[in-house]
Amino acid sequence: MRKPGEPVRVSGSGTCLPLLRILTAGYSDTTADFVYLPGLHSGGGIKGVANGDLEIGAVSRQLTAEEAKLGLRYTLLSRDGLVIATHPSVPIEGLTSQQVRDIYQGKYANWRELGGPDLPITILDRNEDESAKIILREYVLGKDLKITPKAVNLYYEPDMIEGLQSTVGAIGYFSLGYGISQEIPVNMLKLDGVAPSVAAIEDGTYKVIRPLGVVTAEDAGEQIDEFLAWATSAKAVELIKSRGFAPAK
């Protein structure tokens, strides 16, 4: 257990950590010292808090039934949109969910077939247990869609973003909040004609969203309770909205 005065250890979902960084940076209480450990994915964050190795575990998906039994406190901070994007060399406006499914099924080899430039389609994908992939399957791909072997699985979201930026003709998906807040130079696509934005998430028109939250121990202590109270306050909501993250309803 953490003793008062010791730093607040934070880790977990790579998708959620940028949001937490925005929040801790905006937090005015300077007595709390937040330390970010390397990303562990959502499950790792939950396990870390359960083991007492972390104070705050970042989670970018809903807790599983087993995880809910651990008796941890879950706080929803934001709803992040999952945006599908291409390398800027593919200046198409948007794709339908079907087109996305077809691309990941390997039905298209060249963007020319989709009305884009004559460039081979480089398919960037995530592992199945990644929250982003889970959400994408839930809202776009569908549960049983077989992904083409031409796609490459990238382990971390930053790898995905890096690959999207540096590979001509690439397509992939990542956090909208991160994309907006870091101004990633990629071509964000409309999905089924809906452009990904905080407003679209808030009004419910953009459906592909994942819940960004934290788990903490039930008796995490006053300092963490205060931080969570602030993180869910109106002021914090304004802050995360301005950075591309949609508030938690």
For other proteins, which stretch binds (CB under 8 A), given 116-124, 194-202, 208-216, 227-235?
116-124
100 binds other proteins (CB under 8 A): no
Of the residues 121, 141, 176, 212, which one makes contact with other proteins according to CB under 8 A:
121
User: Do 156 and 39 meet the contact criterion of CB atoms below 8 Å apart?
Assistant: yes
- Tokens describing residue 52: 């007492």
Does position 95 interact with other proteins (CB under 8 A)? The reply is no
Residue numbers 163-192 binding other proteins by CB under 8 A: 163, 166-170
Phi, psi dihedrals of residue 65, rounded to the nearest 5°: -60, -40
**57-77 burial, b if ≥16 CB within 10 A, otherwise e?**
bbbbbbbeeebeeeebebbeb
Q: Is 38 in the site for other proteins (CB under 8 A)?
A: no
Please tell me whether residue 154 binds other proteins under the rule CB under 8 A: yes
Q: What is the largest CA-CA distance in the chain?
A: 60
135 forms part of the interface with other proteins (CB under 8 A): no
Structure tokens at 130: 């990644």
Decide whether 152 or 195 has the Cβ nearer to other proteins: 152
Alpha-carbon span 237 to 66, nearest angstrom = 30
* Total number of residues that touch other proteins (CB under 8 A): 22
Q: Are 219 and 72 in contact (CB under 8 A)?
A: no
**Residue ranges binding other proteins (CB under 8 A):** 89, 109, 119-124, 149-152, 154-155, 159, 162-163, 166-170
